[in-house]
Structure 1
Amino acid sequence: MVRTATLAPTLVALSLASAALAGCAATTTPPTADPSPRPSANQGQSPRASELDDETGIPEGYVDVGHGTYVPAGGPGCETPAYIHIGSMSAEVTGKIVDLGARDFAAGTVGFDDAGNIVSYTVAPGDVATVIGERLCIYNGISLALLNHTRDVHPDQVLRLDPDPAVAWVPYYNPDDAGEGFQQIPYQEAIEAMGRAADAGKVETMRAIWTDTLKAMFTDPAVIDRIQKALDSGDLGVLSQMFS
Structure 2
Amino acid sequence: MKSASPLPSFGRDMSESSSIPRHIAIIMDGNGRWAKERGKPRISGHRAGAESVRECVEGCKQLGVEFLTLYAFSSENWNRPAAEITALMALLERFLEEKAGELMEQNVRLQAIGHLERLPVRTRRKLDKAIERTSGNTSLTLILALSYGAREEIVEAARSLAADAVAGKIDPAKIDNATFASRLYTAEIPDPDLLIRTSGELRVSNFLLWQISYAEIVIFKKFWPDFHQADLNEAVEEYSRRHRRFGGL
TM over 0.5: no
TM-score tier after normalising by the smaller chain length = under 0.3
With structure 1 as the length reference, what TM-score do the two structures score?
0.27
Q: Which has the higher contact order (CA 8 A, sep 6+)?
A: 2
Which one has the bigger helix percentage? 2
